[in-house]
Amino acid sequence: MRAEQTLEALQRRMIQQLKTQHHETAPLDARLLLEHASGLSSTDLAMQAKQEAGSTLIHDAQALVALRLTGMPVAKIIGHKEFWGRRFHVSSAVLDPRPDSETLIEAALALLPEKKALRLIDLGTGSGCLLLTLLAERPLARGLGIDKSRAALSLARRNAHCLKLRLKLGLDSALDLNLGLRRRVALRHGDWLHGVNATADMIVANPPYIASDSIDRLDRDVRLFDPRLALDGGSDGIGPYHALIAPSFQCLTGGGHLLLEIGVTQAEAISALMAAAGFTDISLRQDLAGRDRVLIGRKP
C-alpha cells in the first residue's frame, strides 16, 4: 500500500491543498469534507487512518477540495452546519448559521423560564437555527418564524422536521429523540411583522445588516455564496431595524423582550431606535471575540 493512499495521507494532502487559501480553517475543513465524502464519522476516520482510501474516495475528496477552493463554504458543500450542538440543513437560499449568533441564543435562554408555555417570534428565520434552537431548549414554547424567502422557509420546515435531541449513549452510539418541533412551530411567508396579528413573549431577529455598498467588499465566501436578501441592510445597513423594531414593540406582551443581532458598529444607532419605540432596560452583549453582537430591550 502506498502511503498517500491511506485515509490519513489523503486528509493530510487535503489540508495542504486547502491551506493555500484557507490557512486557519484548513484542518477542520479537510476533516468535514473527508467525513462527507467517505460517510465516516470523525471517530471512524481516526480509527481507520491507516486503511486504504480507494480511488473513488480520493476522486470525490479532491472534487470537494476543488469546490472549497472556489470559495464555497464547507457548510454549503456538505449541506449542513452545526449550531448550538445540533445539525442544521443549509442551502444556497439561506445564511449559514454563524457561531456569533449563539450569543443571541445564550442571552435568550437566560431570559426564558424552562417550564412556561411561551410564545416566540423569529423575524427573518432563514434556516430556522435561532427559533428551532430556542424551541428545542424550551419544550413548552411555541414559535412563529417569518421570512421573505420561500426557499428559506422550506428549508426551515425541513430542519423543524429533522432536528432531534441526540442522547449520547457511549463513544459511538446515540439515541435520537423527537423534539416535536413540527407541532410547535409555524413558518410564514412575510415582510417582517406586516399583517401579523400575534402576541409574543419574546421576539428575536438576525436581520440583514450590511450596508448595500459594502457587500462587494465582503469575503468571497460570504459575498458569492450567501443570499443577498440575507445580507443587504439597505443604504445605511440598518433599514430592517427601522422596519421591525416599532412593530415588535406592538406585538410583545408587557415584560416581553426583543433580542436583535447587530453589526459591530451599529449598537448606538439601533439602541436609539429601540429606546424611541418604547423599549427599556436596553443592554448589549458581546460575542466570544469581544465584538458588540446582540441588543436586548424589554417592553415595560
Ligand X SMILES: C[S@@+](CC[C@H](N)C(=O)[O-])C[C@H]1O[C@@H](n2cnc3c(N)ncnc32)[C@H](O)[C@@H]1O
Number of residues forming the site for ligand X (CB under 6 A): 22
Residue 57 or 294 having the CB closest to ligand X: 294
Which span (57-65, 123-131, 132-140, 163-171) binds ligand X, by CB under 6 A? Answer: 123-131
Binds ligand X by CB under 6 A, chosen from 103, 125, 159, 248: 125
Contact predicate 83/133, CB 8 Å: yes
Residue 57 or 95 having the CB closest to ligand X: 95
Binds ligand X by CB under 6 A, chosen from 26, 32, 152, 273: 152
Exposed/middle/buried for 246, CB within 10 Å: 0-12, 13-18, 19+?
middle
Nearest to 41, CA basis, from 12, 13, 7, 76: 7
Residue 147 interacts with ligand X (CB under 6 A): yes or no: yes
What beta strand segments (E) does the chain contain? 80-83, 86-89, 119-123, 142-147, 164-168, 174-178, 185-189, 200-205, 252-261, 280-286, 292-298
Residue 97 interacts with ligand X (CB under 6 A): yes or no: yes
- In the bound complex, what is the minimum distance in angstroms from residue 155's beta carbon to ligand X? 9
Residue 142 interacts with ligand X (CB under 6 A): yes or no: no
Residue 38 or 149 having the CB closest to ligand X: 149
Task: Report the site for ligand X in 180-199 (rule: CB under 6 A).
Answer: 191-192
Number of H helices, E strands in the chain: 13, 11
Residue 130 interacts with ligand X (CB under 6 A): yes or no: yes
Binds ligand X by CB under 6 A, chosen from 142, 148, 157, 164: 148
- Distance between CA atoms of 99 and 84, rounded to whole angstroms? 8
Question: What are the CB-based long-range contacts (under 8 Å, 24+) for 170-176?
Answer: 171/43, 172/41, 172/43
Binds ligand X by CB under 6 A, chosen from 73, 126, 237, 256: 126
Contact residues toward ligand X (CB under 6 A) are 94-95, 97, 101, 124-127, 129-130, 146-149, 152, 191-192, 206-208, 229-230
